[in-house]
Each structure stands twice: as structure tokens, then as C-alpha cells.
Amino acid sequence: MTISVEKPIFEEGSAFKKSGDKIGEFKLDGGFSMPKMDTEDDEAFLAPEMNAFGRQFRDYDVESERQKGVEEFYRLQHINQTVDFVTKMRAEYGKLDKKVMSIWECCELLNEVVDESDPDLDEPQIQHLLQSAEAIRKDYPNEDWLHLTALIHDLGKVITLPQFGGLPQWAVVGDTFPVGCAFDESNVHHKYFIDNPDFHNKAYNTKNGIYSEGCGLNNVMMSWGHDDYMYLVAKENGSTLPSPGQFIIRYHSFYPLHTAGEYTHLMNEEDKENLKWLHVFNKYDLYSKSKVHVDVEKVKPYYMSLIKKYFPENLRW
């Protein structure tokens, strides 16, 4: 099946603009029809220029107490995310033996989580999920898989809670990046990688490192966090979300790729096709963050129907 999707162009100020008459065509298995955005241009989601704190989005340089905490977060993350650490985390959390519960139960657990790496919002995560999902639902009303992907993309953050092992935030949230190859300078606060043991390991500090060009992101180890964990949960529990949905879950925090355009040498053709949908998703993930809350009970029945469609009733976490 061949479908057409308008390919977004990210620009400073607007962050998302359509590419005029250019249409990106790609094929998707599974029978899912994914047309271009259904909303007229003057009604489409408009990215705000300022975050909830009155500053530019993803501004990691402005002086503030919150920014100091964010920088300390990235210092710890960059020092500790190594090949050995990621290998151990994937083995431990790949067991999926922490809890058995439904998707919606996990959504409710996120009320206990605030992302310390996020300079744009300090609201409970459940609101960010619903804000993203509802914004996408408005512009892409027929793509229910994308609505659900937005709702669940951050559920992996529960691994910071005690019942899931209580991992420190640097092992759960923040931008992700490949380990096992050179740390690209597009990574936020790149300077702190110098204290990462892999930075000085000759097997890991070249452009390709332990990988080969075009090997595919599925064969690349990413820094451990909620993205990879939620991907494992979805995959191992037999989710029927289409490939782009699972790709979004796994790589939505991979800003060096989807925003800076780095690490593309590791991608294969399937990655390139899925990246088009990640570009669509990204503006809603980043720019829908708001202090205005979504009425959870009002929208819950709709999302419960999507959960039933794409996931089993209870999942191993």
C-alpha cells in the first residue's frame, strides 16, 4: 500500500512548516491508510514560540535554577551511559518481571513522575501524554494508531518509580544517543562525555564504532531510558501498532537524529521511511506542552478503545 504524508520542515521560530507541494511517499505494511493531515492550514496545530516558563523551547543555556538542575542531569547521564551499562539494563528490564498491569493503569502511575531533564514543563506526565495525543487527534483524526502512540510514548518513565527499580532520572529520561560509537557533538552538553569511559575506548570512539554503515537502528544500542523500555514492553507483549508507531516510541528522544540530522549513516531504508512519521510526531511531543490541563475523564473512553484495539488487556512490565 502506498500512502502520502506531508513532510514537515523544522525552522527556528515556527518549528514546523509544510513543504509546499512536495509529498513524501512511502509504503507501510499492515493495511494502515495514512493520508496527509486532514485539518485546513489555518486550523492546524501552531507551535508556540515560548514554553510554559516564558522561554524558548529546549533552551539549555539560559540561566535559571531549573536549568542548573537540567545541566547536572546531563552531566550524570553522559558520564554513566556506557555500553556495559546499557547491556545490563536491557538484560534486566527485558525480563518484564516488574509488574502486570494495563496500559491505562500505567498512564495513571505517571501522575507520580516529573521529568527533571525537561526544561519546558514541570507538570505530571499524564498531562503531557494527553496534550500530545489530543493535538495530534485534532490534526490527524483518522490515524488512531498515532493518537495512541502519543498517549503511550512516555509510559516507560515508570522505571524511575520504586516498584520498577527506582532508576535515577539520568537512566530514564533526557535525550537519547547511540553507545558503542563516537558521541556526536550535536548531543546536549556534549562536554561531559569526556568523563565517560567509552569516550576513550578505541573500539567505541570512532564514527561507526562497533557498527557498520547502514546497519539499521534496530542493531544499534541506544542509551538506556524510557524510550527503549516502552518499546520492549510493546514488542514483547505483542502490540499490533504499525512499524512507524513502534519507531516513534523507541526514538522520540533521539534528538541528535530527528532534529540535528546526525547519525543518519547508521540508518537503513526502513528507518528512513519511519523517520518521516517521527518528524510529524515531534512537533506535537515538544510544542503541545502546556499548563492547560486535558479533562482526563472526558477523553478516557476514546483512548481505552484504542488500547483494546492495539494491546492485550494486561501487559508484563
pLDDT single digits (tens) 47-102: 445 434 344 444 545 555 768 889 999 999 999 999 999 999 999 999 999 999 99
What are the sequence ranges of the domains in the chain? Answer: 65-316
Whether 190 has a binding-site annotation, put simply, is no
Cα–Cα nearest to 231, from 313, 155, 285: 155
Q: Is the pLDDT of residue 219 over 70?
A: yes
Q: What cell does 182 get?
A: 563516537
Cβ atoms of 126 and 296 closer than 8 Å: yes
**Is 154 a known ligand-binding residue?**
yes
**Ramachandran bin of 298, using left for φ above 0, alpha for ψ from -120 to 50, beta for the remaining angles:** alpha
Angle among Cα 232, 27, 31 to the nearest 5 degrees reads 75
- 116 annotated to a ligand binding site: yes
Annotated binding-site residue? 186:
no
279 known member of a binding site: no
Q: What percent of the chain has pLDDT over 90?
A: 68
Per-residue pLDDT tens digits for 156-172: 999 999 999 999 999 99
Is 11 one of the annotated binding-site residues? Answer: no
More confident position, 40 or 152: 152
Helix (H) or strand (E) holding 4, with range, is strand 2-9
Ligand-binding site membership of 250 (annotated): no
> Is 138 flagged in the annotation as binding?
no
Is 55 marked as a binding-site residue?
Answer: no
Cβ atoms within 10 Å, residue 97: 10
Residue-wise DSSP of 45-64: ----SS-TTSS-TT--SS-S
Q: Given CA atoms 185, 155, 52, 37 in this order, what sign does their dihedral have?
A: positive
**Model pTM greater than 0.85?**
no
118 carries a ligand binding annotation: no
Question: Binding site annotation covers 117?
Answer: yes
